[in-house]
Each structure stands twice: as structure tokens, then as C-alpha cells.
Structure 1
């Protein structure tokens, strides 16, 4: 691991989370919390025609969890619940070492240094887990 865990790109993402507000009337809301570090991400969603049309976030997480939520929120609108679930699963596979594929979501390479720190994986997955579940609930 040659790259530092908390680098300027991670910190920049953590400081600029898109959609960092709660929605006034979401179709579904899901909160995910990491039991390891206490990081928490709440996602509100609205769906239209089977696609995510709006998202609201409340992120109280470490810099890695914030950066991951930032990357997720920047690309999620327009995706289906199935696509969001697939991204969640691919992120989990990447972090666990079961896959080396990062092409499924723009920008995730910035989180590569965290792959060797399993205690941080739960925080990194929070936003992806919450949005996948919220989209599934709203789409049902």
C-alpha cells in the first residue's frame, strides 16, 4: 500500500458531498450504521419510472465513509434499484478481494488504499447499502 489512506482526494470528496440534505417527502428512507466505528449514513430517495429521481443524504461518517457517499451520490440519479444493488455488491466484492473490478462506478479508485483496512470497509459500504435498500423499497 503505497498511497496514504487519507489523501487529499479522499478529503476533498468528504468535504463536498452532493445532495447532502434530507428530502422533505421521500418515498423511502434507510439508515445504515457501522458497528465498528459508529459511522452512519441516512439516504432518502424518490423514484420515477423505475429510476432514482432524487436523493437526500445525512452523512455522519469518517472521511472514507463520507468520500464513498460523495462518489455514490454524484452518480446515482437515473439508476434503477437493480443497478444500485449491483453496484453495492460489486463494491463489497472489491473491498473483500473477491474482485479487482472498479469500472462499475466512476471515481472509486480513490478508495483503493482502504482495501487493505478491513475495519474501514463497513463505513465505505454504508452509502451504497443504504441507497440500494431505499431504492428497492421505493420501487416496490
Structure 2
């Protein structure tokens, strides 16, 4: 990766997002927790959440990732409250399609992932970008399943 590629990839907006991640930390009594790790780079994200009326009511994330993973966690953190498990799964799938299949930018409320479009060409970065939303979608699904059990 050349210096100009790095500059394009790590834009000012990505660095701003990485420095201001909403909902950092852990919840004292979450309905579900999921930890995801990227074996390629070692990034990890742990998500805690609780649902009320089938929607995310409380959310926290512990993010240990590169700036791209942190930026993705920031976008997720801004959009996650009020989402259903199905909406989170659709957001995850749309982000994955954007990165891996040249798909469109995810629709609102996940359209903030557009900032990560330059990372599409860097397959080794995809796993860390996907960690937060994968963990959130899995945790929301687990919390919903637990409530219905």
C-alpha cells in the first residue's frame, strides 16, 4: 500500500469517527453479549445490548481495533438504538455487500458506512470493519431468542 493509498483510506472523517465512538464501555447487566475477533489483524469488539419491545434499548461496545474498525463502530453506535434484530442483520449484510461485492452504500440508518467505501479495495481490512455490526446483529438475535424462549 502506497503512502497516497493510506492517506485516501484513512481520511480525516474516518479519523474523526474513530476518535468519537458512541456507547463505549460495557453494560452492567446486558441481555446478550458477543465478542468478535478478526484473526487477521487481532482487532476485537465486544457488544453488550438489551432489547425492549423488540428493539435495541441499551447498548455498549468495547472496541480494540484499527481506525477503520473504530470508525465502523462509531457509525454503528450512532444508529443502533431503536433498531430491531432484523434491521441490524440487514445493515450487516448491506455493509458486507458494499465491501465484498461492490454493492451500494447501505440504506439509512446505516448510510454512514459510506465513509468506509475506500476500504472496499483493501480486503485485509474488511474483517475489522465488519466486527462491530456482526457482533451487534448476533447479540440482538441472541437477546430476541432468549426473550422468546
Q: Give TM-score, length-normalised by structure 1.
A: 0.95
Q: In the aligned structure 2, how far is the partner of 1:11 from the partner of 1:101?
A: 20
Q: Which runs of 4 or more aligned residues in structure 1 lie more than 3 Å from their structure 2 counterparts after TM superposition?
A: none
1:110 Cα deviation (Å)?
Answer: 0.9
Give the stretch that moved more between structures: 101-110 or 52-61.
101-110
In 2, the alpha carbon distance for the partners of 1:129 and 1:33 equals 10
CA distance in 2, matches of 1:107, 1:90: 12
1:130 to 119, 127, 135: 135
The one of 34, 39, 61 aligned to 2:43: 39
Distance 2:32 2:104 in 1: 32
Greater Cα radius of gyration, structure 1 or 2: 2
Partner of 1:20: 24
Deviation at 1:100, TM superposition (A): 2.1
Is residue 134 of structure 2 the alignment partner of residue 114 of structure 1?
no
Partners of 2:58 and 2:27 lie apart in 1 by 8
RMSD (Å), alpha carbons: 1.5
Higher relative contact order (CA 8 A, sep 6+): 1
Q: State the distance in 2 between where 1:83 and 1:47 align.
A: 13
TM-score (norm 2): 0.90
| TM-superposed deviation, 1:68 | 0.1
Conserved 8 A contact 2:72-2:129: yes
Structure 2 unaligned spans of 5+ = none
Runs (5+) with no aligned partner, structure 1: none
- Select the structure that is richer in helix: 2
